[in-house]
Amino acid sequence: MKYCVLALVASLGAGQSVVNTITTDLNGHQVVTAPTVSTDGTHTETSQSINGRRVPLEQTETKVLSEDANGKQVETIVRKYGPDGQLSSTERVLTDTVKTPDGSRVNSTTYRSDINGNMAEAQRTITESHQQGAVTRTETVVERPTLNASLQTVEKRSAVTETSGDNTHQDLTVYRRSENGGFDAAIREVTDVTKAGDQTIEKTAFYEPRSTDALELSRQTLSTTTKRSDGSEVSEVDLYKASVPGVAQTTGSPQQLYEQQIITRDKGPGDTVKETLSVRRPSVSEPNHLGALQKVSETVCQGKCTPDTR
């Protein structure tokens, strides 16, 4: 079980948030980890070294290099550190977004350091989006270097998004390079989002290869989020798949509910936001019945609590 609580600080700078985490080990003892600090454009995760010092674990820094009416260029630096706090690797992502008459073109290049600290191109992603009326078509190509350092396409993604009022339907298929050099469908995600008043319902179906090369329904999620008048919100997420603990999966098995998540988000005093996750799961002895609701985690954030710091 994992609990996350905010470290109370005397003051927070503009655009800053601080979060501490308390985890429970196998013996039931609570272990307090070092805080995560986020400031505008910078996100730093820390840990405790073997000598008890607070050292960085990973740091992400994002900044806009240029921006105008035609697009913008963004640089993201990710630094990863070892247990002793020494820098172990650096990743630089340069993203260029160019607006087109009917959409956009995004070129993203990732450079990664080697053991000597030298930066080399590790991945290139090209995404083109074209909108026609209520339909947006997005094509993505992912390239990575081969043994001879030349770039080779390793993945393609094709998505079609249709919007009608407050309803959105998206069909995304990911293709990956096969051993024969062609591209096979690796996963397909079909998502429907419906908004009505203070309630949002999102349904997603995942299709993956099974015994044959054809994609088959593997799992589904159903999420219902309701916003309350006091600014808080609660989400009920139902997870389905063909096999649950204690039941052997057979060909053609129907989708069964194997987990239910209840996520509540409440605003506290000041700039405090608390998110609580509780789950219900079946037991091996009763695979067709969900057990009692149990709290899994609690996260409390103070300051600028954006999605990546909560």
pLDDT tens per residue, range 52-94: 667 788 899 999 999 999 999 999 999 998 888 889 999 999 9
Distance separating the N- and C-terminal Cα atoms of the chain? 17
Name all contacts of 114-123 with Cβ < 8 Å and 24+ positions apart.
117/90, 119/90, 119/92, 120/145, 121/145, 121/151, 122/91
Q: Say if pTM beats, i.e. exceeds, 0.95.
A: no
Phi first, then psi, for residue 294 (nearest 5°) are: -130, 135
pLDDT tens per residue, range 9-52: 334 455 667 665 555 555 656 555 556 777 777 777 776 665 66
292 vs 298: CA distance, rounded Å: 18
Give me the residue spans of the domains in the chain. 53-148
